[in-house]
């Protein structure tokens, strides 16, 4: 049984798109709209250029590769069709030697309506005899005519050769004959290469511009989330474990970035391509286009079915990852307990279960994808097969040119690629939406800390008063009830009480980690909420039960952000705190790295450091929360000596377990279950024979009658 450490939320999925969230993300994109527009423009051009290539292929085939003039045989008493043909195209026909026979040049044929052509063919005057038209210009072209006198027919300007005959020409002669076609194909090929080069450049610029915008946006988002988090009240961190917040700032933002770069713009490009292809195909040939699109409903149904399944599988994977994360977290943050209680085997067994779950979820997703992608492939192959069959027939019937069919095949291939990729993009979109939602809910988290209109920024004197203070962490269970006591400037007040009595909570309120619910805390007669919070905290030094070390050396850890103090001062406060001795024993003295990955200090040593740290800001008020609990009695005495000097002129609140250390306090406040039960000096409270008296006896293990003797 493990807690989820807040990772379970990771298992939730968003809608594949959510316009509200996108609009909010748009705000972060606003500064980079220039880059975005540029990127978008590049995408548009690229899509256009992509569409151009199959078209150029078609042109190469129809204009230069497969070209033939067709023979037309017209009779004077022909059908009305023949007359119509003559009146429409007669001017453009090239007469043959035999009467009534003409050649229909390929460029005229290209411009003719295909249905009409089929009709002319049906009436028989447009024959199947094909010729290659030839207009010799260069001497080597002329020489071909002389070399094969029986092959060519025609007159000065137009020569032609039947396609059968052309096959008998020698290869090099054929190349001379068709020199113009070869050059044409070469030019188109050159154009295609040029387009590819331009596309490469555009692609690079587009990715660069988009990544620049994307990375900058993520940078801003992280910055914003980080600074927002830092200012949230401590109570927020009670509810939100660090692991979860780390995920927000890393994984979630990464997810959004991925959506941004790999989906958004590409999706636009894909949509443009799809629309472009549909329009182009319909323009090229409506019938053929409709045949090609006949598989689309099937694709649609498949995609719909798939997206449901994929979503399920994806959700499961996220859930299993979340389980795994929290398992890791728990296992390794409690590694000492795990090893101490020999739970390694048991935990391995449990991990195996979680790990298996993750593996199975992944396999499930893979099998869904392994089904979907080939299915789309089959459907697209089906479309291509259909196209070949239907279109091929049309080419044979001369209803369409070969070039059109080839272009169609290319376009259909282009058409299915984005559909194939859709599955992947769908996933990315979903997880990004869920991530976005989590990031924004983090940003929406209220800072809740009251900010006065004109915060007090004065030097603090150090008069503290708790005035009927009540407080609860969860809004229900009061951990402090009607607490009232005061500490005058320069006084040392001790707070004693059992564990859980609420001592630390008092300090939380004083430092404004949490806000007082009822009553008020006054400093120099002014509600602490009216103080500037930075001013307040910088004048109240706090040494806590647990000392946190940042990654850095000893000196940095004492000085923290307080750059005003120099190395000398750091040494001075370390001396006062009696930390000097152990620091000198460290391998690099004040330059020894501590904190994560650095030298490990004992709890006592850390406390001495914390003392030095608190003293370094030269606070008006010093609070020690069981600060000497990890220090041995001898050191404690040393610290006390140093402190006695330092506490002069300062207000101090000291929480201590060992009552021996607080006997000289000006006042002792006894806290019991959140209430102040006794207030007085040591002598007064001993006389009172209340809680303090009993605590004292317990600690010193004395019987009531011997109390007097030991006290002195």
Ligand X SMILES: Nc1ncnc2c1ncn2[C@@H]1O[C@H](COP(=O)(O)OP(=O)(O)O)[C@@H](O)[C@H]1O
Give the binding site for ligand X (CB under 6 A).
238, 473, 479, 497, 499-505
Residue 501 interacting entry, from ligand X, Mg ion, none, C-beta within 5 to 8 Å by type:
ligand X
Question: Among residues 260, 155, 265, which one has the least CA distance to residue 202?
Answer: 265
Q: How far is the CB of 316 from ligand X (least distance, A)?
A: 34
**Structural contact between residues 140 and 173, judged by C-beta atoms closer than 8 angstroms:** no
Q: How far is the CB of 545 from Mg ion (least distance, A)?
A: 6
Q: How far is the CB of 545 from ligand X (least distance, A)?
A: 8
Q: How far is the CB of 652 from Mg ion (least distance, A)?
A: 17
**Structural contact between residues 403 and 54, judged by C-beta atoms closer than 8 angstroms:** no
Residue number with the smallest Cβ distance to Mg ion: 504
Q: Which is nearer to ligand X, 403 or 497 (CB)?
A: 497
Q: Which is nearer to ligand X, 201 or 500 (CB)?
A: 500
The CA-to-CA distance between both ends of the chain, in Å, stands at 54
Residue 428 interacting entry, from Mg ion, ligand X, none, C-beta within 5 to 8 Å by type:
none
Residue 313 interacting entry, from Mg ion, ligand X, none, C-beta within 5 to 8 Å by type:
none
Residue 567 interacting entry, from Mg ion, ligand X, none, C-beta within 5 to 8 Å by type:
none
Q: What is the DSSP string of 517-536?
A: SEEEEEETTEEGGGB-HHHH
Q: Which is nearer to ligand X, 126 or 496 (CB)?
A: 496
**Structural contact between residues 577 and 540, judged by C-beta atoms closer than 8 angstroms:** no
Residue 519 interacting entry, from Mg ion, ligand X, none, C-beta within 5 to 8 Å by type:
none
Q: Which is nearer to ligand X, 193 or 698 (CB)?
A: 698
Q: Which is nearer to ligand X, 510 or 615 (CB)?
A: 510
Q: Which is nearer to ligand X, 86 or 236 (CB)?
A: 236
Residue 500 interacting entry, from Mg ion, ligand X, none, C-beta within 5 to 8 Å by type:
ligand X
Residue 403 interacting entry, from ligand X, Mg ion, none, C-beta within 5 to 8 Å by type:
none
Written as six digits, the tokens of 170 are 């020698």
Q: How far is the CB of 621 from ligand X (least distance, A)?
A: 18
Rounded Cα distance between 163 and 266, Å, is 47
Q: How far is the CB of 625 from Mg ion (least distance, A)?
A: 6
- Within 114-178, where are the H helices? 114-123, 139-147, 163-166, 171-177
Rounded Cα distance between 59 and 66, Å, is 10
Separation in Å, CA 638 to CA 258, 579, 607, 699: 58, 10, 13, 21
Instruction: Read off φ and ψ for residue 486, nearest 5 degrees.
Output: -135, 155
Q: How far is the CB of 482 from ligand X (least distance, A)?
A: 15
**Structural contact between residues 488 and 662, judged by C-beta atoms closer than 8 angstroms:** no
Rounded Cα distance between 46 and 200, Å, is 9
Residue 499 interacting entry, from ligand X, Mg ion, none, C-beta within 5 to 8 Å by type:
ligand X
> How distant is the alpha carbon of residue 634 from its chain centre?
54
Q: Which is nearer to ligand X, 299 or 501 (CB)?
A: 501
Q: How far is the CB of 681 from Mg ion (least distance, A)?
A: 23
Question: Among residues 556, 626, 634, which one has the least CA distance to residue 593?
Answer: 556
Q: Which is nearer to ligand X, 213 or 483 (CB)?
A: 483
Residue 418 interacting entry, from ligand X, Mg ion, none, C-beta within 5 to 8 Å by type:
none
Q: Which is nearer to ligand X, 48 or 500 (CB)?
A: 500
Q: Which is nearer to ligand X, 406 or 495 (CB)?
A: 495
Q: How far is the CB of 629 from ligand X (least distance, A)?
A: 11
Interacting residues of 584 by C-beta distance below 8 A, sequence separation 6+: none
Q: How far is the CB of 510 from Mg ion (least distance, A)?
A: 13
Rounded Cα distance between 25 and 666, Å, is 58
Q: Which is nearer to Mg ion, 144 or 624 (CB)?
A: 624
Residue 512 interacting entry, from Mg ion, ligand X, none, C-beta within 5 to 8 Å by type:
none
Question: Among residues 328, 316, 348, 354, which one has the least CA distance to residue 243?
Answer: 328
Q: How far is the CB of 497 from ligand X (least distance, A)?
A: 6
Question: Among residues 286, 284, 387, which one has the least CA distance to residue 62?
Answer: 284
**Structural contact between residues 532 and 449, judged by C-beta atoms closer than 8 angstroms:** no
Question: Among residues 28, 17, 19, which one has the least CA distance to residue 433?
Answer: 17
Using CB under 5 A, list all residues that contact Mg ion. Answer: 504
Rounded Cα distance between 499 and 577, Å, is 26
Q: How far is the CB of 359 from Mg ion (least distance, A)?
A: 45
Interacting residues of 12 by C-beta distance below 8 A, sequence separation 6+: 315, 318, 434
Q: Which is nearer to ligand X, 501 or 558 (CB)?
A: 501
Q: What single-letter DSSP state applies at residue 456?
A: B
| Matching residue, tokens 């910088």 | 538
Residue 487 interacting entry, from Mg ion, ligand X, none, C-beta within 5 to 8 Å by type:
none
Residue 206 interacting entry, from Mg ion, ligand X, none, C-beta within 5 to 8 Å by type:
none
Written as six digits, the tokens of 118 are 């089929």
Instruction: Read off φ and ψ for residue 154, nearest 5 degrees.
Output: 125, -165
């Amino acid at each position: 049984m493990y807690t989820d450490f807040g990772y379970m939320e990771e298992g939730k999925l968003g809608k594949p798109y959510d316009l509200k969230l996108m609009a909010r993300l748009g705000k972060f994109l606003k500064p980079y709209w220039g880059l975005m527009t540029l990127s978008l423009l590049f995408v548009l051009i690229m899509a256009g250029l992509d569409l151009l290539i199959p078209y150029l292929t078609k042109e190469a085939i129809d204009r230069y590769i497969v070209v033939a003039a067709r023979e037309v045989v017209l009779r004077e008493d022909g059908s009305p069709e023949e007359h119509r043909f003559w009146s429409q195209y007669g001017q453009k026909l090239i007469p043959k030697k035999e009467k009534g026979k003409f050649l229909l040049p390929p460029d005229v044929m290209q411009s003719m309506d295909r249905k009409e052509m089929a009709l002319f063919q049906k009436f028989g005057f447009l024959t199947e005899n094909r010729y290659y038209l030839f207009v010799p210009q260069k001497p080597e072209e002329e020489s071909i005519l002389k070399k094969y006198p029986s092959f060519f027919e025609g007159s000065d300007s137009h020569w032609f050769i039947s396609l059968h005959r052309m096959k008998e020409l020698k290869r090099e002669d054929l190349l001379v004959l068709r020199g113009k076609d070869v050059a044409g194909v070469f030019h188109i090929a050159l154009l295609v290469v040029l387009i590819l080069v331009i596309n490469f450049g555009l692609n690079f610029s587009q990715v660069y511009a988009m990544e620049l915008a994307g990375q900058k946006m993520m940078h801003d988002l992280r910055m914003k989330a980080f600074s927002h988090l830092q200012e949230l009240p401590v109570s927020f961190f009670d509810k939100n474990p660090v692991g979860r917040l780390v995920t927000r700032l890393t994984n979630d933002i990464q997810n959004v970035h991925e959506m941004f770069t790999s989906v958004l713009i590409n999706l636009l490009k894909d949509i443009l391509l799809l629309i472009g292809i549909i329009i182009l195909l319909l323009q090229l040939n409506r019938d053929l286009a409709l045949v090609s699109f006949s598989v689309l409903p099937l694709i649609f149904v498949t995609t719909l079915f798939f997206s449901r399944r994929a979503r399920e599988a994806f959700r499961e994977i996220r859930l299993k990852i979340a389980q795994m994360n929290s398992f890791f977290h728990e296992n390794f943050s409690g590694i000492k307990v795990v090893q101490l209680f020999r739970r390694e085997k048991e935990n391995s067994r449990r991990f195996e279960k979680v790990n298996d779950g993750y593996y199975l979820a992944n396999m499930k997703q893979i099998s869904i994808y392994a089904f979907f992608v080939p299915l789309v492939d089959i459907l697209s192959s089906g479309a291509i097969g259909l196209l070949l069959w239907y279109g091929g027939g049309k080419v044979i019937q001369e209803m369409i040119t070969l070039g059109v069919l080839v272009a169609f095949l290319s376009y259909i291939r282009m058409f299915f690629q984005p559909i194939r990729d859709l599955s992947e993009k769908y996933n990315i979109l979903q997880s990004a939406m869920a991530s976005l939602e989590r990031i924004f809910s983090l940003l929406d988290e209220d800072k809740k800390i009251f900010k006065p209109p004109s915060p007090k920024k004065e030097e603090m004197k150090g008069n503290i008063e708790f005035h009927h203070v009540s407080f609860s962490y969860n809004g229900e269970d009061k951990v402090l009830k009607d607490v009232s006591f005061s500490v005058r400037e320069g006084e040392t007040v001790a707070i004693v009480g059992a564990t859980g009595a609420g001592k630390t909570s008092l300090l939380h309120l004083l430092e404004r980690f949490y806000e007082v619910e009822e009553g008020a805390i006054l400093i120099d007669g002014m509600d602490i909420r009216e103080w500037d919070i930075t001013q307040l905290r910088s004048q109240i030094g706090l040494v806590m039960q647990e000392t946190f070390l940042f990654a850095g050396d000893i000196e940095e850890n004492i000085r923290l952000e307080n750059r005003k103090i120099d190395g000398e001062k750091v040494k001075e406060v370390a001396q006062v705190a009696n930390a000097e001795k152990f620091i000198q024993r460290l391998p690099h003295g004040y330059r020894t790295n501590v904190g994560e990955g650095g030298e490990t200090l004992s709890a006592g040593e850390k406390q001495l450091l914390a003392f030095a740290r608190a003293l370094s800001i030269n606070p008006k008020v010093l609070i020690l929360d069981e600060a000497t609990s990890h220090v041995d009695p001898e050191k404690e005495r040393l610290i006390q000596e140093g402190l006695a000097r330092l506490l002069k002129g300062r207000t101090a609140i000291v929480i201590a377990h060992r009552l021996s250390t607080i006997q000289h306090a000006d006042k002792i406040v006894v806290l019991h279950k959140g209430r102040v039960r006794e207030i007085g000096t040591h002598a007064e409270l001993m006389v009172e024979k209340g809680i303090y008296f009993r605590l004292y006896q317990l600690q010193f293990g004395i019987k009531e009658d011997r109390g007097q003797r030991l006290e002195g």
